Amino acid sequence: MVKPKIALYWISSCGGCEESVLDIAENILKIKELADVVFWPVAVDTKYKDIKEMKDGEIAVCLINGSVRMDEQEYMARLLRKKSKIIIAHGACAHLGGVYGLANFYKRQECLNRSYKEVPSVKNPEGIMPQTHSMDGELEFELSGFHDLVKPLNQVIEVDYYIPGCPPNPKYILEAITSVLQNVLLPKGSIFADRKALCSTCSRRDSKPEKVVMKEIKRPHEWEWDSDKCFLAQDMICLGPATRGGCEERCITANMPCRGCYGPTENVMDQGGKFLSALASILDSKDDNELEKIADSILDMAGIFYRYSLPSSLLRKKVK
C-alpha cells in the first residue's frame, strides 16, 4: 500500500522543535505506520532537488518550525507550500515569530554590526561584512540574503494549522500529524492547544487571588518563593493569564513563571498589549512616582511581554 508522505523542515530554528518531535518517543512508530517521511533534513539525507522534482501537493502534511528571515528560508517555505496539501506551523517561532523575533527591536544593520563587528568574541579589524555575492579570484560565492524583519510563517505562506510552544508539547505534535493523516480535519487555522488561558488549568490557580494587587515586582532570583503559590500573588510576573494553555504547565511545575510561549488566547490580537493592560490594572498605587518606580523595576518590559510574539503583534517591530 502506498502511504501518504510527510515532511519536516526547520528554517530559522534552534533545533528545540526538532527535539520535540523525538519527545513523541515510541509513538513515533504510529506515524511511521501511517506515513513515509520523505524530507527531514535533521534526520534524513534528502536533497532540495528531490523536493523540487515532486508533484504539487504530493506531500500530505509538512511541519515547518522556525521563523523566516533569509532568502533561502523564504524559498524553502514557498517550495514546501507548493508541494504540500497541509502546512503546519510547528512551534512558537513559526507560529508567532518566536524569540528570534526580538531582533525586530533592532534595524537590520544594527543586527549585522553587532554580530560581525561588536561582540567581544569577534575579531574583524577590517570590518568585513557578509555579501550576498562575492568573488575570490575566479570563484564565485552566493550567500542567502538577510531580510529587514523576522516573520512568522503565516506572513510568508498560507498556513493550515498551528502547534504553539517553545518547544511544543509532543502530545499535540502527535495529535496534529495523526489527525491530518487520518483525514480528521479541524477547521483551517486551528491551533493544537487549549482554548483557555493557562491559569484555568494551572496547579497554583487556587492561590491566585480574586483580585491580584501588586505593590512591587520581584524577580525569581531575588528571593526564595513559595513553590505552591501563584506567582502573581507573590509579586512576580507570570504571563499565564494572557497565554493559551496546553503546555501542561511544564515551566510552572519546574517552579518558573509562565513566559508566554503558547501565544495569545482566543480573540486576543496582541499578547504583549493584553498583559501590559492587565498589569496596569493590578499595580496598587495612585501615585505617579510610585507607579513609575514599580514600572522601572521591570527590566526589559518589551522583551518580557513580547518575548515570543513581537513579529505577530500589532506593531511587529520597534517603531522609532
Cβ at position 212, least distance to ligand SF4 in Å: 8
101 belongs to the binding site for ligand SF4 (CB under 6 A): no
Cβ at position 232, least distance to ligand SF4 in Å: 4
Site for ligand SF4 in 265-304 (CB under 6 A): none
Our CA angle for 173, 175, 180, nearest 5°, is: 100
151 three-class SS: strand
230, 237, 242, 279: which one contacts ligand SF4 (CB under 6 A)?
A: 230
Return d(Cα 244, Cα 193) in angstroms, integer: 7
202 belongs to the binding site for ligand SF4 (CB under 6 A): yes
Residue (162 or 231) nearer to ligand SF4, CB: 231
Residue (54 or 257) nearer to ligand SF4, CB: 257
State CA 313 to chain mean position distance. 13
Residue 144 CB: number of other CB atoms within 10 A? 14
Residue (54 or 202) nearer to ligand SF4, CB: 202
232 belongs to the binding site for ligand SF4 (CB under 6 A): yes
DSSP annotation of 166: S
311 belongs to the binding site for ligand SF4 (CB under 6 A): no
6, 13, 271, 307: which one contacts ligand SF4 (CB under 6 A)?
A: 13
Residue (59 or 214) nearer to ligand SF4, CB: 214
153 belongs to the binding site for ligand SF4 (CB under 6 A): no
For strands 139-142 and 133-136, give the pairing: antiparallel
Grid coordinates of 101 = 523575533
35 belongs to the binding site for ligand SF4 (CB under 6 A): no
258 belongs to the binding site for ligand SF4 (CB under 6 A): yes
Residue (56 or 248) nearer to ligand SF4, CB: 248
- Output the CA–CA distances (angstroms, integers) from residue 315 to 105, 267, 302, in the order listed: 11, 17, 12
Residue (34 or 283) nearer to ligand SF4, CB: 283
Residue nearest to ligand SF4 (CB): 240
96 belongs to the binding site for ligand SF4 (CB under 6 A): no
Which DSSP string corresponds to 68-95? EEEHHHHHHHHHHHHHEEEEEEESHHHH
Query: Quick one: CA dihedral 97, 102, 108, 113, positive or negative?
Result: negative
Beta strands in 11-53, from DSSP E residues, in sequence order: 36-39
Return d(Cα 191, Cα 91) in angstroms, integer: 11
Q: Which stretch binds ligand SF4 (CB under 6 A): 53-61, 119-127, 136-144, 203-211?
A: 203-211
312 belongs to the binding site for ligand SF4 (CB under 6 A): no
Q: In what order do the strands lie in the sheet with 36-39?
A: 36-39, 5-10, 59-65, 84-90, 161-163
167 belongs to the binding site for ligand SF4 (CB under 6 A): yes
Q: Which residues bind ligand SF4 (CB under 6 A)?
A: 13-14, 16-17, 65-66, 91-93, 98-99, 166-167, 198-199, 202, 204-205, 208, 230-232, 238, 240-241, 252, 257-258
